[in-house]
Amino acid sequence: MARLRLLAAVAVALSAVALLAGCSESSDGEPSAEPSATASSEPSNATGNADAGVVTWADGVCAATTDLEAAVQQVTPALQVDPAASGTALDQVKTEVAEGAGAVRVAADDLRAAVNTSPPGVVSGEVASARQELSATADRARTAAEKLAAQGAQLAEAQTPAETAAALAAAGGALAAAGTGVQAYLASLKESTESRDPVLRDSFAEAPACQARQTGASPSSSP
């Protein structure tokens, strides 16, 4: 019974992270199935209207977004474990999940801080509105990340095989919820990168970390 519960939770978590990866691809600046007339009238990498302050802010947002996605996706492999495995194997999994869940919480905190950082200079109404929407969805992702971290801590404290299996299943459910929260945030980010406001749209297009997301490169690889 414990094995079935764990496998079901892992399946849910895998599904959520797979959806997260797909949503990430659609949020990387690629044209949507039905682009707006404004977006389709200009090349996707147009930066003539970019604002230096907004570019700086957008760069931080994109970098933190990529870090959070990576943190969520790294937790999933650790959950793919047979609850009947040896005690040593389970102890290793408990450590990996607990540390990974903590990393997701840190990344979610960093994302919230990046989104809520005010761009230098004069902020337009469109940029302020985008910040507000991104902040709201980033907060929801952060709440889910905190619950995942709590489940990771409970897993680390599990003693018996039954407690460990139950904690792993709960962690799988929490990971699925975190993936869903990040998906909602990515949808908000996509709206900003495809905004009808040329300053907002072009600033995201010019930000190096946002360009890295488009090409699949890791912003952490740059100096």
Please say if the pLDDT value at position 179 is more than 50: yes
Phi, psi of 59, deg, nearest 5:
-60, -45
Residue type, 123: V
Mean pLDDT of the chain: 79
CA torsion 113→116→121→122, rounded to 10°?
170
Phi, psi of 46, deg, nearest 5:
-65, 130
Q: Which of the two residues, 197 and 121, has the higher pLDDT score? A: 197
Residue type, 31: P
3-state SS track over 50-111: CCHHHHHHHHHHHHHHHHHHHHHHHHHHHHCCCCCCCHHHHHHHHHHHHHHHHHHHHHHHHH
How does residue 25 score in pLDDT terms, banded at 50, 70 and 90? very low
Least confident stretch, 51-55, 158-162, 172-176: 158-162
Task: Please state the rounded mean pLDDT for residues 210-217.
Answer: 83
pLDDT at residue number 63: 97
pLDDT at residue number 107: 97
Top-confidence range, 7-21, 26-40, 43-57, 145-159: 145-159
Q: pTM of this prediction?
A: 0.77
How does residue 82 score in pLDDT terms, banded at 50, 70 and 90? low
Contact criterion met (CB below 8 Å) for 146 and 105 = yes
How does residue 103 score in pLDDT terms, banded at 50, 70 and 90? very high
Please say if the pLDDT value at position 78 is more than 60: yes
How does residue 144 score in pLDDT terms, banded at 50, 70 and 90? very high
How does residue 210 score in pLDDT terms, banded at 50, 70 and 90? very high
Phi, psi of 36, deg, nearest 5:
-70, 160
Task: Please state the rounded mean pLDDT for residues 163-171.
Answer: 85
Q: Is 20 exposed, middle or buried (0-12, 13-18, 19+ CB in 10 A)?
A: buried
Please say if the pLDDT value at position 30 is more than 80: no
pLDDT above 70 covers what percent of the chain? 72
Please say if the pLDDT value at position 100 is more than 60: yes
The span from the CA of 104 to the CA of 142, in Å, is 9
The span from the CA of 34 to the CA of 10, in Å, is 34
* SS3 assignment, position 140: helix
Please say if the pLDDT value at position 11 is more than 90: no
